[in-house]
């Protein structure tokens, strides 16, 4: 998704803690996608 792509860009510039947050957001997106399919 666009949100995921934006966070991918940010993740390249953020420290490890930020990458953990990024992974959580992607997981949440995946769960929403599954629920809506």
The pLDDT, as a whole number, for residue 25 is: 86
- State how far the Cα of 22 lies from the Cα of 36, in Å rounded to an integer: 21
Nearest to 22 by CA among 35, 32, 34, 30: 30
The pLDDT, as a whole number, for residue 36 is: 86
The pLDDT, as a whole number, for residue 14 is: 65
The pLDDT, as a whole number, for residue 9 is: 77
Q: Would you give per-residue pLDDT tens digits along the chain (37 residues)?
A: 787 788 777 767 767 676 777 788 888 888 888 888 8
């Amino acid at each position: 998704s666009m949100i995921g792509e934006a966070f991918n860009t940010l993740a390249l510039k953020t420290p490890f803690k930020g990458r953990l947050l990024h992974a959580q957001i992607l997981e949440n997106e995946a769960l929403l996608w599954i629920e809506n399919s």
